[in-house]
Amino acid sequence: MKNVQTEVLVIGGGATGSGVAWDAAARGFETILVERKDLAEGTTGRFHGLLHSGGRYAVKDRLAAEECIHENRILRRVASDAIEDTGGYFVTTPWDDPAFGDKFLEGCRACEIPVEEISPSQAFQDEPRINRGISRVFTVPDAAIDGWKLVWDCAKATTEHGGRVFTYHQVLGILRAGDVVRGAKVRNELSGEEFEIHADFTINATGAWAGKIADMAGCPGVQVLAGKGIMIAMNHRLVNTVINRCTMPADGDILVPIRTVSVIGTTDIRIKDPDEPDVTQDEVDRMLDDGEKLVPGFRKARALRVWAGVRPLFKDARAAETTDTRDVSRSHALLDHRDRDGVAGFLTITGGKLTTFRMMAEETVDMMCEQLGAQRACRTSADPLPSSKTGKFMWLGERLKEREATMHEDQLICECELIQRSSLERVMTQRSSTILDDIRRALRLGMGPCQGGFCMYRATGILHDVERMDSWAANRSLRDFLQERWKGVQPILYGDQLRQARLDDWIFQGVLDVEHLPTDQLDDHPASDRA
Ligand X SMILES: Cc1cc2nc3c(=O)[nH]c(=O)nc-3n(C[C@H](O)[C@H](O)[C@H](O)COP(=O)(O)OP(=O)(O)OC[C@H]3O[C@@H](n4cnc5c(N)ncnc54)[C@H](O)[C@@H]3O)c2cc1C
The residues binding ligand X (CB under 6 A) are 11-17, 34-37, 41-44, 47-50, 52, 170-171, 205-209, 229, 265-266, 309-312, 352-355
3-state secondary structure string across 5-58: EEEEEEECCCHHHHHHHHHHHHCCCCEEEECCCCCCCCHHHHCCCEECCCHHHC
In terms of CB distance, is 41 or 341 closer to ligand X?
Answer: 41
For residues 209 and 508, which CB has a smaller minimum distance to ligand X in the complex?
Answer: 209
Q: How far is the CB of 122 from ligand X (least distance, A)?
A: 26
**What does the chain come to in residues?**
531
Least Å distance, CB 428 to ligand X, is 22
CB of 25 to ligand X, least distance (A): 17
Find residue 308's DSSP bridge partners.
Answer: 230
Minimum CB distance to ligand X smaller for 293 or for 311: 311
DSSP single-letter state for residue 506: I
Give the shortest CB-167-to-ligand X separation in angstroms. 9
The single-letter code of the amino acid at 349 is I
Q: How far apart are CA 439 and CA 459, in angstroms?
A: 9
| Residue (150 or 447) nearer to ligand X, CB | 150
Cα–Cα distance, 430 to 75 (Å, whole number):
26
From the CB of 50, what's the least distance to ligand X, in Å? Answer: 3
Instruction: Determine the 3-state secondary structure of 60 from DSSP.
Output: coil
CB atoms within 10 A of CB 332: 21
SS (H, E, C) 235-287: CCCCCCCEEEECCCCCCCCEEEEECCEEEEECCCEEECCCCCCCCCHHHHHHH
- Tell the smallest beta-carbon distance from residue 422 to ligand X (Å): 30
Distance, CA of 198 to CA of 115 (rounded, Å): 49
Specify the residue, 207 or 446, whose C-beta has the smaller distance to ligand X. 207
Q: How far is the CB of 16 from ligand X (least distance, A)?
A: 3
The CB density around residue 526, as the number of other CB atoms within 10 Å, is 8
CB of 53 or CB of 92, closer to ligand X? 53
CA angle 468-1-173, nearest 5°?
100
Q: Which is nearer to ligand X, 10 or 463 (CB)?
A: 10
H helix and E strand count, the chain:
16, 22
Calpha distance 396→90 (Å, rounded): 23
34, 13 contact by CB (below 8 A): yes
Of 52 and 182, nearer to ligand X (C-beta) is 52
Which residues, at least 6 apart from 254, have a Cβ–Cβ distance to it below 8 Å? 48, 50, 56, 242, 243, 244, 245, 264, 265, 266
CB of 330 to ligand X, least distance (A): 8
C-beta of 49 vs 55, nearer to ligand X: 49
Q: How far is the CB of 151 from ligand X (least distance, A)?
A: 8
Which residue's C-beta sits nearest to ligand X?
14
Query: CB of residue 172 vs ligand X: minimum separation in angstroms?
Result: 7
Residue whose CB is less far from ligand X, 72 or 500: 72
Nearer to ligand X among residue 55 and residue 207 (C-beta) = 207
Q: How far apart are CA 403 and CA 81, in angstroms?
A: 19
What is the maximum span of the chain, computed from C-alpha positions, in angstroms? 79
Which among 205, 228, 226, 202 has a CA at the least distance from the CA of 15?
Answer: 205
Nearer to ligand X, 4 or 473 (CB): 4
Least separation in angstroms between CB 392 and ligand X = 22
Of 255 and 501, the one with the shorter C-beta distance to ligand X is 255
The least distance separating ligand X from the CB of residue 466, rounded to whole angstroms, comes to 26
Q: By C-beta, is 368 or 419 nearer to ligand X?
A: 368
Angle of helix 421-431 versus helix 456-466 axis, rounded to 10 = 50
Per the CB < 8 A criterion, the answer to whether 434 and 124 are in contact is no
> What single letter denotes the amino acid at residue 290?
D
Q: How far is the CB of 18 from ligand X (least distance, A)?
A: 7
CA 466 to chain CA centroid, nearest Å: 27
d(CA 93, CA 132): 9
- To ligand X, the closest distance from the beta carbon of 386 in angstroms equals 20
Closest CA to 137 of 148, 126, 152: 126
What does the alpha-carbon distance between residue 366 and residue 294 come to, in Å, rounded to a whole number?
Answer: 42
